[in-house]
């Protein structure tokens, strides 16, 4: 397959002309015509990634999809038992059943704030497969089939992104969980990006690490094909549904997800500086 079939070329040449996306002439480095976050006036998280960033449609692979859906159904039948005795094993089983091979580089600490770039629903499952991470998730996730129930059962902290007034309470709850010794995970971009570009890190979650005086653990997530080429096929972006993204993954012969644990950051700076350090660490080695 050529690069455009994996969605990478489209992501780098895509031009957004929607006037709601900000001032004309302000460019995101990999999405020409899309303004950087700092030049937007609205508060909500924003990503320019959409259908043009995704690979072209391939074979429908109905038999493969049917087999994997059956495997996923079997995993979820066992979910209550696995949640009680072996939570990471449950997430590893979900990835395996979906045809996703997880490769982990490095090791997560036993406590602290885990911050990662955000590509897909796969990110949450991959982090859960490595360690018992309590995720900070948008409120909509609670209503997602299966994944919402899993998130709630594993102690997720849900955030209503439309209510900025509720942000201090979320920071306080996160700091309390960190002080209690929990490993808490968050995606500071606030929304998903395709992987060929990334968004700015929001500073609020880092205040929780400072308040609790625990380290910040940066993690880089990346998707690839079995031959080593990067791909956006695993991304969950734009207006597509969870089902759309899931089916695209199930149709692939295999999707590789590499989770790289980077050196921890001490909570010895203000949240702006700490967020910038984490963002640089994660994006420095991105494809």
Confidence at 47, pLDDT banded by 50, 70, 90: confident
pLDDT at 27: 54
pLDDT at 62: 93
pLDDT at 11: 36
Which position has the token pair 């549904």?
241
* CA distances (Å), origin 36, targets 30, 46, 60, 129, 207: 10, 10, 36, 33, 23
Q: What is the mean pLDDT of residues 115-121?
A: 95
Residue-wise pLDDT tens digits, 81-113:
777 667 888 899 999 999 999 999 999 988 899
- How far apart CA 20 and CA 28 sit, in angstroms, is 15
Q: Among residues 196, 187, 189, which one has the least CA distance to residue 52?
A: 196
Query: Mean pLDDT over all residues of the chain?
Result: 82
Q: What is the mean pLDDT of residues 235-248?
A: 90
* Domains of the chain (ranges, CATH numbers): 61-284 (3.40.1130)
What's this model's pTM, rounded to 2 decimal places?
A: 0.82
Between helix 204-212 and helix 271-284 the angle, nearest 10°, is: 110
- How far apart CA 166 and CA 49 sit, in angstroms, is 27
pLDDT at 151: 76
pLDDT of residue 6 exceeding 80 = no
| Number of C-beta neighbours around residue 55 at 10 A | 21
pLDDT at 281: 94
- Residues near 207 by beta carbon (within 8 Å), at least 6 away in sequence: 171, 175, 271
Q: Among residues 277, 267, 136, which one has the least CA distance to residue 210?
A: 267
Lowest mean pLDDT among 76-85, 93-102, 158-167, 276-285: 158-167
Which position has the token pair 């929780």?
208
Confidence at 25, pLDDT banded by 50, 70, 90: very low
């Amino acid at each position: 397959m050529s690069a455009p079939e994996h969605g990478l070329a489209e992501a780098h040449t895509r031009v957004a002309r929607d006037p709601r996306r900000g001032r004309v002439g302000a460019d995101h480095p990999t999405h020409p015509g899309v303004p950087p976050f700092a030049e937007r006036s609205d508060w909500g998280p924003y990503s320019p990634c959409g259908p043009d960033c995704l690979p072209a449609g391939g074979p429908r692979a109905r038999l493969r999809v049917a087999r994997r859906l059956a495997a996923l159904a079997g995993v979820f039948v066992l979910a209550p038992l696995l949640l009680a005795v072996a939570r990471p094993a449950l997430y590893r089983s979900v990835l395996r059943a979906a045809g996703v091979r997880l490769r982990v580089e490095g090791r997560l600490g036993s406590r602290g704030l885990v911050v990662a770039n955000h590509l897909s629903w796969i990110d949450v499952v991959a982090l859960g497969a490595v360690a018992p991470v309590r995720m900070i998730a948008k409120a909509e996730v609670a209503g997602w089939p299966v994944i919402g129930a899993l998130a709630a059962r594993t102690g997720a902290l849900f955030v209503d992104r439309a209510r900025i007034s509720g942000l201090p309470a979320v920071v306080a709850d996160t700091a309390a969980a960190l002080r209690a010794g929990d490993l808490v995970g968050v995606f500071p971009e606030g929304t998903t990006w395709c992987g060929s570009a990334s968004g700015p890190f929001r500073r609020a979650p880092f205040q929780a690490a400072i308040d609790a005086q625990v380290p910040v653990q940066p993690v880089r997530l990346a998707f690839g094909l079995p031959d080593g080429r990067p791909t956006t096929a695993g991304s969950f972006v734009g207006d597509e549904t969870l089902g759309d993204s899931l089916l695209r993954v199930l149709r692939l012969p295999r999707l590789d997800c590499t989770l790289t644990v980077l050196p921890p950051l001490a909570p010895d700076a203000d949240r702006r500086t700490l967020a910038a350090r984490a963002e640089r660490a994660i994006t420095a080695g991105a494809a």
